[in-house]
Structure 1
Amino acid sequence: MEEMNIREFSRRYTKKDNAIAWRETVVTVLAYAVFIALAVAYVHVWWVVVPATVLAGLMGVRIYMIQHDCMHGAFFTSKRLNDVLGEVLSPVSLSPYVATKYNHNLHHAFVGNLDHREAFEIDIMTVDEYRNAPILRKLWYRFYRSRFTLLVVGPFVLYLILRRFPRNGIKTGVKWVVLHDAMVLGYFAFMYWMAGWAGVLVLLGSIYVGSTFGAVIPYVVHNFEQVYWGRKPEYTYQKGALEGSSVLRFGDWFDRLTLNIAYHDLHHLNANIPAYRLKHCYEESGDLLHSYEIGFFEAMSCYGWKLYDEEAHKMVRFSAARLPGAAGTPAE
């Protein structure tokens, strides 16, 4: 009953406001353009180009968040306007709109469902699966789940290379993938035409910052120790949404930068809530919503959780797979 109550309550906040949506879009795109231009103009002045490139990368994250809301049809009142803007923003977000929209909706449909992990954004194995896996699979999974992969190189490779050939891209339409990749190539060509290789390097730097920073969000909100994963018939969509997602409490500046995506359990419960109303809905929900809140330091510790223990109902470290009943042993 409580889950139904919060779901019904959340519907009060699903009204779209085109004026707010346009304001957020214009401010974000202008800020991104200014920081990119500033970095290019002062490319030989390190104390200007470095912070300008970082800020451009962070604005790139915000542009992706706008695109993300468009994927859910939650930003503007018009479905067509959501789709057009989502496609137009794709060269900056480096996310082909149509394929990413399809894949992201699968992620929402099966959040916390162990029987549909192919829709999850981060590969996850259970303790039993890891114990019984071939050695090469174990080695690959360890490399994949390492901090080096998840934080240093993985996000950059994902956005710059892998998303040029997105999962389900053939199913959702090759023409849209080709269009998106042509737009990305055109953006790089424009930067080269404007500022030579210095412009390209500034763009790559902003992409590295944006992809690395942005990748922390989906990882942490779904990879905390007490996260829920289940199988039917015990699994339900609402349980997966509310207990398979957390809330990041990184401060007001973080909420503004990321368009409130930190309130992720509520977003998964009702993706029709526009980003600009999500925090307000969360704050007004009172006792209806029992979120698992994560601060900055706990967020960094989340990278130590590697496997899901179905018996203990929590994430554990690799050391838990050594012997049955060892979940919770110290990190390796």
Structure 2
Amino acid sequence: MNLQPRPSKLQCVEGPPDHTGEERIPGFSPMKWSLAEIRAAIPARLFIRDTRRSMRYLVRDMAMAIAMWRLALFIDPFFQAGQTRSLLGAPVTETLRWLSWMVYWWFQGLIFTGIWVIGHECGHGAFSGSKQLCNTIGFITHTFLWTPYFSWKISHHRHHSNHASMERDEVYVPKTRGDLRISEGHGHKIDYEDYLGDTPIFTLFMLIRQQLLAFPAYLLFNVSGQKRYPAWTNHFNTESILFTKGQRRLVIVSNLGIIAMILGVQRACATFGAAQILKYYGIPWLCVSHWFIMITYLHHTDPSLPHYRNKEWNYQRGAASTVDRPFLGWQGRFFLHDVAHFHVIHHFFPKMPWYNGAEATGYLKQFIGEHYAFSDKPAFQALWQNYNDCQFVENDGDVLFYRDRQGRAQRRPASPEM
């Protein structure tokens, strides 16, 4: 979710943009297959949901979270003990104490994120064939991690149903040239530095702000959501455009869950102290917000991925406009349940169990070929580069690709066949 402020001092000038030389960059033609054809290429057994297997993953994650918490209880008593401080010295002891806390925050943050991912799978019905079980587990796990389960589930389903559609997608909708008021030029060269030029330090600050605040900002203020929604659109207002009248009861239930969390955290802070709650729970939760935003941003934001307008969009083209990444290597696979490794297949078939994603991706890749997107670029390098390379798309056209801070695209729609 891009929290970069919108420039206001420059006016949009009508006229064709200067795309001189872009015939040399790779062309792209949208894929032609139907969703039924793609589904037929994947064995039916991979769509079967195994409730017991799903429960084992949930129990494993909960056991790891409890174990990490129990181990963390020893950090301060051990390193603050007089015997330890006299043996190692105060500077070494304090250094090791904070290093131990950082190790806890890293792994507990990953474990919490894995629990959040299981709640996300529940929202799609991929955890079990029982809708009641999915909603019960999803509500508990997401509420524990400050996500209004039913409210977010509703908007997230709409995102899946309309992904990569400029008119209808819910999140990660690219800004257009007009949104940023970038002159389209009349044969003269555009000075993009006037519009998009930021120092690396400021860009880093904006990126960190995105990583820490983007998800709460989306839930509360629709940041990076669909621009045509009215002001103050959010996930907590029962009258929001995000929801139908029949869904308002579910929004209320989600809100009650968040209220219960607020009261619970207040009580815990009063009992154990705010600093303790922050160390054991608050910082790992902040890591969840960071990992979730980083993962989803890199799923849906890349110079090679198309966005569509009008009749060029369909569900399967939108599903293919995501990218798989080997996010954090083995840690991403083990703790995060392959949420980044095999995300493309998830967009095609959200109810497919996540533990079948690896095998199903093999069949998908074989069938759709070059339309399957994969990047093995290191995650943090990709985050920095994509944040700079994915600035805006054109005002016109039905197949669109991001342009960078110099107005350059890395891909273009292929010329129509004669």
Q: Could you say what secondary structure the match of 2:406 adopts?
A: helix
Q: Report what 2:37 is aligned to.
A: 5
CA distance in 1, matches of 2:216, 2:264: 13
Letter in 2 for 1:266: I
Q: CA deviation at 1:112?
A: 0.6
1:93 matched to 2:145: yes
More helix by share: 1
Contact 2:165 2:318 (8 Å CA) reproduced: yes
Q: CA deviation at 1:169?
A: 4.2
Q: Could you say what secondary structure the match of 1:307 adopts?
A: coil
**Structure 1: segments with no counterpart, 5+ residues:** 321-325
Q: Report what 1:306 is aligned to.
A: 391
Q: CA deviation at 1:54?
A: 1.8
Contact 1:35 1:53 (8 Å CA) reproduced: no
Contact 1:39 1:50 (8 Å CA) reproduced: no
1:292 matched to 2:376: no
1:71 alignment partner, one of 123, 126, 132: 123
Contact 1:67 1:86 (8 Å CA) reproduced: yes
Q: Could you say what secondary structure the match of 2:147 adopts?
A: coil
1:177 matched to 2:254: yes
Q: CA deviation at 1:319?
A: 2.4
CA distance in 2, matches of 1:159, 1:40: 30
Relative to structure 1, the CA distance from residue 164 to residue 194 in structure 2 (aligned partners, 3 Å threshold; closer, same or farther) is: farther
Aligned-pair identity (%)? 19
1:206 matched to 2:238: no
1:167 matched to 2:217: no
**Structure 2: segments with no counterpart, 5+ residues:** 1-31, 81-96, 184-193, 222-233, 411-418
1:268 matched to 2:347: yes
Contact 1:249 1:295 (8 Å CA) reproduced: yes
Q: Could you say what secondary structure the match of 2:181 adopts?
A: helix
Q: Deviations over 1:226-253 (max 9, x none)?
A: 11111121111111111x1111123343
Cα RMSD, aligned residues only: 2.9
1:240 matched to 2:323: no
Q: Report what 1:154 is aligned to.
A: 210
Contact 2:54 2:127 (8 Å CA) reproduced: yes
Q: Deviations over 1:26-66 (max 9, x none)?
A: 11122123223433442463232221122111111111110
Q: CA deviation at 1:86?
A: 0.5
Normalising to structure 2: TM-score of the pair?
0.67
Letter in 2 for 1:185: I
Relative to structure 1, the CA distance from residue 225 to residue 235 in structure 2 (aligned partners, 3 Å threshold; closer, same or farther) is: same
Number of corresponding residues: 313
Normalising to structure 1: TM-score of the pair?
0.83
**Superposition pairs of residues 33-48 of structure 1, within 5 angstroms:** 33-43=66-76, 45-48=97-100
Contact 1:58 1:210 (8 Å CA) reproduced: yes
Contact 1:124 1:308 (8 Å CA) reproduced: yes
Contact 1:225 1:314 (8 Å CA) reproduced: yes
Q: Report what 1:103 is aligned to.
A: 155
Contact 1:40 1:199 (8 Å CA) reproduced: no
Contact 1:70 1:76 (8 Å CA) reproduced: yes
Q: CA deviation at 1:7?
A: 2.1
2:114 alignment partner, one of 53, 62, 75: 62
Q: Deviations over 1:79-100 (max 9, x none)?
A: 1000000011123332110001
Mark the structure with the bigger radius of gyration: 2
CA distance in 1, matches of 2:307, 2:365: 25
